[in-house]
């Protein structure tokens, strides 16, 4: 099996000198749901934002090592970063609608990619809203402001908004952080369907969620990978004492 993403000896330091990631190595395979979990400041969000190069927005940072996406280094200067971000979608911890209608939010990525054909856009908007289990709730109010949606609906809209570009990989940064259990279940359910088509890397809300959704998982602590393995291996038979202590709730 070839890796969808290979992270090789990746280290990252913030402008204040704080080392966020140290010598990270991991492989993520196609159509798996890969979970990055660990206590806060473990470097999970930083790692996600390095994969789609949103970390480029930060000043004065230092990065070494490579991230290969389908075998190609995402930090290759010849790579078009807008192309990369269309292939690797992202959903943020706080639902972030853009000002405008639900439809405008969904269509935005396609329009910026230069797609003008309304039929294609309409069709993709509908399909991605269905994939995010939101279509039935919003099909009659696509022109309403996206800010009028509930928290859970907003987050599913954000998921649909990244799916509309038909990416290869989806990065989910704690997508259920502010959601009630029912909305959380809806999002988790859609993830199981989505991984047939996409590769998903997720920072979970909790250890319990990590264990529920993961195919494989990596436990991060203070910017280092402690252990990587299958759901069984990490959550039932961890080999490292620190992993065991964290998943059983002895610290965290």
Partner 1 sequence: MSRQQTQVLATWLISITAVVVILPIVLVVFYVVAKGIGTVNWQFLSQPPSNGMTEGGIFPALLGTVILTFGTAVAAIPLAVGAAIYLAEYAGDNRATRAIRLAIVNLAGIPSIVYGLFGLGMFVLFLNFGTSILAGALTLGLMTLPVVISTAEEAILAVPQEFRVVSLSLGASRWQTIRHQVLPHALPGIITGIILGLGRAAGETAPILFTVAAFYLPELPKSIFDQTMALPYHLYVISTQVPGMPLSIQYGTALVLLIIVLSFTLIATAIRTVMRRRREW
Least distance between partner 1 and beta carbon 159 (Å): 12
Handedness of CA 220, 201, 88, 68 (dihedral sign): positive
- Residues forming contacts to partner 1 in the complex (CB under 8 A) are 52, 54, 57, 59, 82-83, 85-86, 89-90, 92, 94, 96, 98-100, 108-109, 112-113, 145, 147, 161-162, 165
Q: In the complex with partner 1, which residue's Cβ is closer, 121 or 185?
A: 121
Instruction: Answer yes or no: are the C-beta atoms of 136 and 68 closer than 8 Å.
Output: no
Q: In the complex with partner 1, which residue's Cβ is closer, 44 or 85?
A: 85
Least distance between partner 1 and beta carbon 166 (Å): 11
Least distance between partner 1 and beta carbon 34 (Å): 19
Q: In the complex with partner 1, which residue's Cβ is closer, 160 or 213?
A: 160
Least distance between partner 1 and beta carbon 13 (Å): 18
Handedness of CA 179, 195, 158, 74 (dihedral sign): positive
- Start-end of H helices in 206-248: 207-213, 231-235, 241-247
Least distance between partner 1 and beta carbon 37 (Å): 22
Strand order in the sheet with 3-13: 19-29, 3-13, 62-69, 72-73
Handedness of CA 160, 162, 164, 168 (dihedral sign): negative
What count of residues does the chain have?
252
Q: Chain centroid to CA 130: how far?
A: 19
Instruction: Answer yes or no: are the C-beta atoms of 32 and 236 closer than 8 Å.
Output: no
Q: In the complex with partner 1, which residue's Cβ is closer, 31 or 82?
A: 82
Q: In the complex with partner 1, which residue's Cβ is closer, 118 or 249?
A: 118
């Amino acid at each position: 099996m070839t890796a969808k993403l290979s992270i090789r000896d990746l280290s990252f330091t913030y402008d204040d000198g704080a080392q966020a990631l140290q010598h990270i190595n991991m492989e993520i395979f196609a159509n798996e749901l890969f979970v990055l979990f660990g206590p806060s400041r473990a470097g999970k969000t930083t790692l996600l934002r390095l994969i789609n190069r949103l970390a480029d927005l930060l000043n004065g940072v230092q990065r070494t090592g490579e991230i290969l996406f389908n075998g190609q280094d995402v930090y290759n200067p010849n790579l078009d970063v807008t192309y990369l971000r269309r292939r690797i979608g992202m959903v943020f911890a706080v639902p972030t609608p853009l000002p405008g209608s639900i439809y405008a939010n969904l269509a935005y990525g396609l329009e910026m990619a230069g797609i003008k054909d309304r039929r294609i856009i309409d069709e993709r908007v509908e399909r991605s809203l269905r994939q995010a289990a939101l279509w039935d709730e919003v099909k009659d109010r696509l022109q309403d402001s996206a800010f009028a949606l509930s928290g859970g609906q907003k987050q599913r809209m954000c998921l649909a908004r990244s799916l509309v570009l038909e990416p290869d990989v989806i990065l989910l940064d704690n997508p259920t952080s502010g959601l009630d259990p029912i909305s959380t279940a809806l999002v988790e359910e859609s993830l199981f369907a989505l991984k047939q088509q996409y590769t998903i890397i997720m920072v979970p809300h909790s250890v319990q969620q990590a264990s529920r959704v993961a195919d494989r998982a990596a436990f991060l602590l203070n910017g280092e990978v402690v252990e990587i393995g299958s759901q069984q291996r990490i959550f039932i038979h961890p080999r490292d004492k620190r992993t065991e202590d964290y998943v059983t709730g002895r610290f965290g």
